[in-house]
């Protein structure tokens, strides 16, 4: 306080506190008239012309821990207390401090006649600075198109009260207000904070732009890369998001699995073709891009299958009864004989008369079938060849799991061709009779014995004619 005749003037005021003031270059720093029971502390009163502090007809006041450095520091005509555990600093104190505790060893006399004495005068002034507030806040945006909503947040220190002024006539005392500026323009937003010692303020400029000048919205652009686009199961592929202007992304791997990671690693466990898509989005829209992934069967599984099929096709075609029949039908042999040649070729299906169907089938496989015998019965077979072939194919597949679509069916075609090319004009055997002969042998198929049944049927046809 540096203006006026007196810095602080209490005129008939009681029970008041005066503290933390700087008062200088006036006539009187502090003046009390007919005022009692007031507390004056932590004031710096200096360079005043008449008096630093004057108390007239003002008893029972307490004055301590003040700094006085004036031409005349104090005038008092009543009894007042000038210290508690510590007194005041007086620029004209002439006492000493022998023990160095910062307090003069002798009292400072303010008005000895009235009993006003400072018994704890300070050798130097240790001013305790008041705690002042500091205004500080943030805003989540400072510029945008109207209507513009802005969130403010107060981070002030040492403040006991606050007041927001938004520059458009609106105010708030909330610690974190959300305010909307509806019209185009510049607004100075101020925050004023205060406590018992002082106040402080801070401000920011908010610019609300004309919405008609708004440019086209920024749309996302989905883009991805991967370290592979195909392979065999299990196929592990890493994908990387390279999208632009995207706030969020979603991966779909085509197998029901999804991910939101920017660089997912996905495993395709089943063979097939998959479409992996990436959807990138922001507040203005979405964008999608895709990539095709081809997943093949495991090479080990394929080799196993090929080996099984090879054994069931090539092996069957070249060995055993089927090989013999194939070579016979193809014209490369005059007789059909099992590759596992029997040393005793006299063993024939007719060697025993009470053989079981299964045993007879085995002997037939080891027997010899001459071309003439086949030609003699082909007319009987032509009417039932389709049903026999179907039964054989089904039985072999059921017993062995091997498909007859390869070598075995090639033998079938050869036999069918032979029969079709050599069938007589008439048949000695009726269709019911042929079915009757075939029926007892169907249950005895074991694995590839179904093929042997074809030969067995021919042999039985020969016997019936004999």
Q: What is the mean pLDDT of the chain?
A: 76
Query: What dihedral do alpha carbons 31, 32, 37, 42 form, nearest 10°?
Result: 0
What digits encode the pLDDT tens for the residues 135-156? 999 999 999 989 999 999 999 9
Which range (18-32, 230-244, 362-376, 391-405) has the least confidence?
A: 362-376
Residue 251 CA to residue 288 CA, distance in Å, equals 10
Q: Tell me whether domains 137-213 and 224-297 share a fold.
A: yes
User: What residues are paired with 230 via a beta bridge?
Assistant: 294
Tally of residues, the chain: 466
Compute the distance between CA of residue 364 and CA of residue 205 in angstroms, rounded to an integer.
Answer: 107
CB-CB contact of 59 with 85 (8 Å):
no
User: Residue by residue, what is the 3-state secondary structure of 16-37?
Assistant: CEEECCEEECCCEEEEEECCCC
What does the radius of gyration of the chain's CA atoms come to, in whole angstroms? 58
φ/ψ of residue 153, rounded to 5: -140, 130
Sequence-distant (≥ 6) Cβ neighbours of residue 87 within 8 angstroms: 64, 65, 103, 108, 118, 119, 120, 121, 122
**Residue 186: beta bridge partners?**
207
Residue 248 tokens read as: 């969020």
| Angle at the Cα of 125 from the Cα atoms of 124 and 130, rounded to 5 degrees | 160
| Rounded Cα distance, 155 and 176, in Å | 9
Tokens of 356: 């079981």
Comparing 131 with 447, the larger pLDDT belongs to: 131
Nearest to 392 by CA among 372, 426, 415, 418: 415
Residue 4: pLDDT band with limits 50, 70, 90: confident
CA pair distance 231, 435, nearest whole angstrom: 53
Residue 303, both tokens: 């080799």
Among 178-182, 417-421, 454-458, the minimum mean pLDDT is found in: 417-421
pLDDT in tens, 9-27: 999 999 999 998 999 989 8
CA 419-422-427 angle, 5° bins: 85
Higher pLDDT pick, 441 / 458: 458
| The residue to which tokens 């090479």 are assigned | 299
Phi-psi region of 4 (alpha: psi -120 to 50; beta: other; left: phi over 0): left
What would the mean pLDDT of 381-401 be, rounded to a whole number? 51
pLDDT one-digit tens code per residue, 310-332: 554 444 444 444 454 445 444 44
* Residue given tokens 């890493």 in the structure block: 238
- Is residue 223 classed as helix, strand or coil in its secondary structure? coil
Going by pLDDT thresholds of 50, 70 and 90, the confidence category of residue 196 is confident
Residue 61 has pLDDT above 60, yes or no: yes
Q: How confident is the model over 213-228, as a mean pLDDT?
A: 86
Q: Are the beta carbons of 113 and 75 closer than 8 angstroms?
A: no
CA distance 80 to 119: 12
Tens digits of residue pLDDT in 67-79: 999 989 999 888 8
Fold (CATH) for 137-213: Immunoglobulin-like (2.60.40)
Domains of the chain by residue range: 6-118, 137-213, 224-297, 314-465
Burial of 261-296, coded b for 16+ CB within 10 Å and e otherwise, reads: eeebebebeeeeebebbbbbbbeeeebebebebebe
Domain 224-297 has CATH 2.60.40.10: yes
């Amino acid at each position: 306080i540096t203006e006026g005749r007196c810095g602080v003037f209490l005129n008939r005021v009681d029970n008041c506190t005066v503290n933390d003031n700087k008062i200088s270059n006036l006539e009187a720093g502090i003046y009390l008239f007919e005022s009692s029971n007031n507390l004056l502390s932590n004031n710096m009163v200096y360079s005043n012309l008449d008096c630093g502090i004057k108390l007239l007809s003002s008893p029972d006041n307490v004055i301590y821990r003040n700094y006085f450095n004036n031409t005349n520091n104090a005038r008092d005509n009543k009894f007042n207390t000038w210290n508690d555990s510590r007194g005041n600093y007086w620029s004209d104190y002439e006492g000493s401090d022998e023990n160095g505790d910062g307090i003069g060893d002798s009292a400072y006399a303010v008005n000895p006649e009235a009993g006003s004495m400072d018994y704890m005068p300070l050798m130097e002034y240790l001013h305790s600075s008041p705690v002042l507030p500091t205004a500080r806040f943030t805003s989540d945006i400072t510029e945008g198109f109207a209507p513009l909503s802005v969130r403010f947040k107060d981070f002030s220190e040492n403040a006991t009260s606050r007041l927001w002024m938004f520059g458009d006539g609106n105010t708030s005392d909330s610690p974190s207000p959300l305010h909307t500026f509806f019209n185009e323009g510049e607004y100075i937003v101020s925050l004023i904070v205060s406590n018992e010692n002082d106040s402080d303020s801070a401000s920011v400029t908010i610019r609300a732009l004309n919405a008609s000048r708004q440019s086209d919205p920024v749309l996302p652009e989905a883009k991805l890369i991967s370290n592979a686009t195909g392979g065999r199961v299990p196929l592990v592929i890493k994908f990387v998001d390279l999208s632009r202007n995207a706030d969020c992304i979603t991966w779909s791997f085509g197998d029901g699995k999804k991910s939101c990671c920017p660089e997912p690693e996905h495993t395709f466990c089943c063979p097939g073709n998959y479409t992996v898509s990436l959807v990138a989005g922001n507040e203005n829209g979405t964008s999608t891009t895709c990539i095709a992934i081809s997943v093949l069967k495991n090479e080990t599984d394929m080799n196993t299958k090929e080996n099984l099929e090879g054994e069931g096709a090539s092996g069957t075609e070249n060995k055993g009864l089927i090989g013999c029949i194939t070579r016979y039908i193809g014209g490369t042999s005059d007789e059909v004989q099992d590759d596992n040649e029997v040393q005793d070729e006299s063993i024939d299906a007719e060697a025993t008369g009470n053989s079981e169907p299964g045993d007879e089938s085995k002997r037939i496989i080891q027997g010899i079938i001459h071309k003439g015998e086949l030609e003699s019965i082909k007319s009987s077979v032509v009417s039932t060849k389709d049903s026999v072939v179907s039964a054989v194919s089904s039985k072999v597949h059921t017993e062995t799991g091997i498909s007859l679509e390869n070598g075995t069916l090639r033998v079938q075609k050869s036999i069918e061709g032979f029969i079709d090319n050599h069938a007589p004009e008439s048949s000695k055997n009726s269709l019911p009779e042929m079915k009757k002969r075939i029926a007892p042998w169907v249950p005895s198929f074991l694995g590839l014995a179904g093929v042997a049944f074809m030969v067995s049927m021919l042999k039985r046809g020969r016997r019936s004619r004999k």
